[in-house]
């Protein structure tokens, strides 16, 4: 008669132990995958919503006029179906330093370089001073052009995953070329808070009527990103 043999108790226990270790490892991997999926979902939504909010603010500024000071916006995206995601946006008025501040910074940098090198005078110092003096003549116009026509806009979006809060930030610059034609130093007149008029005469109020080589854009440039266009 043929003898039948089964597994010993030790063999069964070893098999169960191996199966338990495998299941624990598989479970940990699955939990990590679910967390990564939730984070990717939140990050994707946050990026789209941040771009959307910047576009909304840009459109509002085009209607209400170019802001001449910092302006903050905050709220949630409840109307878009994301009540748990909030935003804090800032339109930053770019304020550049006066030329004397630049001159002081240049002098301090040169003094520090001379002290480090031990030399009495840096090579090409006269040429550098002449170039910097030329910049001083053009700086008021350049300063006015940048401050009058460029704004920095940024938007932070916050969302929570359990007890962990995440954030996503988008920064961009808006430029309105039409306002360059309204600079006082270029013969025009800046109109605070006035929206651009594409049909207005070249040069703005009191400015020159000679048109530029190409027609400038009539509104701020839109933020650049994969989600440009946002959620409507």
Contact 186, 210 (CB under 8 A): no
**Predicted pLDDT at 137:** 80
Taking only Cα atoms into account, the Rg of the chain, rounded to an integer number of angstroms, comes to: 31
Contact 126, 110 (CB under 8 A): no
Tell whether 199 is covered by a domain: no
pTM of the model: 0.56
Give me the helices (H) in the chain, please. Answer: 9-64, 99-117, 125-149
Q: What is the number of structural domains in the chain?
A: 1
Q: What is the DSSP letter of 5?
A: -
Residue 169 CA to residue 222 CA, distance in Å, equals: 16
**Predicted pLDDT at 202:** 33
28-71 tens-digit pLDDT: 888 888 888 889 999 999 999 999 999 999 898 888 877 788 89
CA 15 to chain centre: 56
Q: What is the DSSP letter of 163?
A: T
Residue 25 CA to residue 112 CA, distance in Å, equals: 59
Tell whether 43 is covered by a domain: yes
Tell whether 201 is covered by a domain: no
**Predicted pLDDT at 126:** 65
Where the chain has pLDDT below 70, the residues are 1-7, 118-128, 180-232
Burial of 103 (0-12, 13-18, 19+ CB in 10 A): middle
**Predicted pLDDT at 208:** 38
Can you say whether the dihedral through the CA atoms of 204, 146, 62, 226 is positive or negative? positive
Tell whether 70 is covered by a domain: yes
Strand order in the sheet with 150-161: 71-77, 82-93, 150-161, 164-175
Count the neighbouring beta carbons within 10 Å of the beta carbon of residue 54: 27
Structure tokens at 99: 């030329």
Tell whether 171 is covered by a domain: yes
Structure tokens at 129: 């001073």
Tell whether 206 is covered by a domain: no
Residues spanned by the domain of 35: 9-95+147-186
Tell whether 126 is covered by a domain: no
Residue 178 CA to residue 132 CA, distance in Å, equals: 29
Tell whether 108 is covered by a domain: no
**Predicted pLDDT at 200:** 42
Residue 58 CA to residue 78 CA, distance in Å, equals: 20
């Amino acid at each position: 008669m043929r003898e039948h043999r089964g597994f010993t108790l030790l063999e069964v226990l070893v098999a169960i132990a191996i199966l338990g270790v495998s299941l624990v490892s598989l479970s940990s991997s699955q939990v990590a995958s679910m967390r990564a999926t939730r984070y990717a979902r939140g990050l994707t939504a946050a990026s789209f919503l941040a771009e959307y909010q910047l576009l909304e603010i840009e459109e509002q500024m085009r209607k209400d006029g170019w802001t001449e000071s910092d302006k903050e916006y905050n709220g949630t995206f409840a109307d878009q179906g994301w009540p748990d995601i909030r935003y804090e946006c800032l339109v930053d008025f770019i304020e550049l330093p006066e030329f004397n501040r630049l001159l002081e910074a240049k002098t301090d940098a040169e003094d520090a370089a001379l002290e480090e090198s031990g030399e009495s005078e840096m090579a090409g110092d006269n040429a550098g001073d002449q170039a910097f003096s030329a910049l001083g003549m053009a700086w008021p116009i350049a300063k006015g052009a940048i401050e009058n026509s460029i704004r920095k806009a940024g938007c932070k979006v916050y969302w929570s995953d359990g007890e962990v809060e995440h954030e996503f930030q988008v920064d961009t610059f808006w430029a309105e070329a039409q306002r360059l034609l309204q600079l006082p130093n270029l013969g025009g007149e800046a109109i605070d808070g006035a929206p651009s008029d594409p049909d207005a005469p070249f040069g703005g109020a009191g400015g020159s009527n000679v048109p530029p080589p190409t027609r400038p854009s009539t509104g701020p440039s839109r933020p650049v990103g994969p989600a440009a266009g946002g959620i409507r």
